């Protein structure tokens, strides 16, 4: 359950709603992330059991990580991979589309899994994450911003999602 800073109908238990247009205080986001780590959903708890302590092929993950003005569920910094556990509130969410586009602009890849898939098929979820971690890291040249003068650039940000 990734959260962003939005003013529409904040849901504090879900970790949402710090206010539109305001620069969120990092300490407030860190406090909220800590609270979310203390009260995970069952799917987050199950996914963390797979990812914690380098249990997935030695890859290090952190949970409830602050990335600029968002809190993401799980992140592998080395491979710039974010893994999200999504409940029904994330179905066709415009806020998630904006958040994922922002994160893609920061060179992160985002994998999303429905909570029921994490609970019912944890082996398949772990395998999908492992495969995503096998992709080579982009070189520094690839990470440079595109040059419109050279006709480069993509109007659609790239995000990865698991089949829902």
Q: What is the pLDDT of residues 97-129, one digit of tens each?
A: 999 999 999 999 999 999 999 999 999 999 999
CB 14, CB 89: distance < 8 Å: yes
What are the tokens at 23?
Answer: 């620069």
Q: With a cut of 60, say whether residue 56 has pLDDT above it.
A: yes
What is the pLDDT at residue 87? 80
Q: Hey, which of 6-20, 34-48, 92-106 has the most confident mean pLDDT?
A: 34-48
Which ranges of the chain does DSSP label H, i.e. alpha helix?
26-38, 42-51, 94-105, 115-120, 122-134, 140-143
Mean pLDDT across 8-35: 62
Mean pLDDT across 77-97: 86
CB 118, CB 129: distance < 8 Å: no
What is the pLDDT at residue 15? 42
Paired with 76 in beta bridges are 81
- The per-residue pLDDT of the chain, averaged, comes to 78
Residue with tokens 């069952």, as numbered in its chain: 42
What is the pLDDT at residue 26? 86
Q: Which value, in Å, is the radius of gyration of the alpha carbons in the chain?
A: 16
What is the pLDDT at residue 65? 95
17-44: burial string, b at 16+ Cβ within 10 Å, e else: bbeeeeebeeeebeebbeebeeebbebb
What are the tokens at 75?
Answer: 């992140």
Q: Which residue has the higher pLDDT, 155 or 128?
A: 128
CB 41, CB 85: distance < 8 Å: yes
pLDDT confidence bin for 92, thresholds 50/70/90: confident
CB 85, CB 115: distance < 8 Å: yes
Helix (H, G, I), strand (E, B) or coil at 117: helix
CB 47, CB 125: distance < 8 Å: yes
CB 63, CB 74: distance < 8 Å: yes
């Amino acid at each position: 359950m990734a959260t962003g800073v939005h003013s529409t109908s904040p849901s504090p238990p879900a970790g949402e709603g710090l206010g539109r247009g305001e620069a969120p205080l990092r300490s407030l986001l860190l406090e909220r992330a800590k609270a979310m780590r203390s009260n995970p959903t069952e799917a987050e708890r199950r996914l963390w059991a797979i990812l914690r302590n380098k249990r997935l092929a030695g890859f290090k993950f952190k949970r409830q990580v602050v990335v600029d003005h968002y809190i993401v569920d799980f992140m592998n910094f080395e491979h710039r991979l974010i893994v999200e556990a999504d409940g029904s509130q994330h179905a066709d969410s415009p806020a998630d589309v904006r958040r994922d586009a922002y994160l893609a602009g920061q060179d992160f890849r985002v994998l999303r899994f429905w909570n029921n898939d994490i609970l019912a098929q944890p082996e398949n979820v772990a395998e999908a994450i492992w495969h995503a971690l096998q992709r080579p890291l982009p070189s520094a040249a690839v990470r440079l911003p595109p040059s419109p003068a050279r006709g480069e650039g993509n109007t659609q940000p790239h995000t990865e999602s698991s089949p829902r």
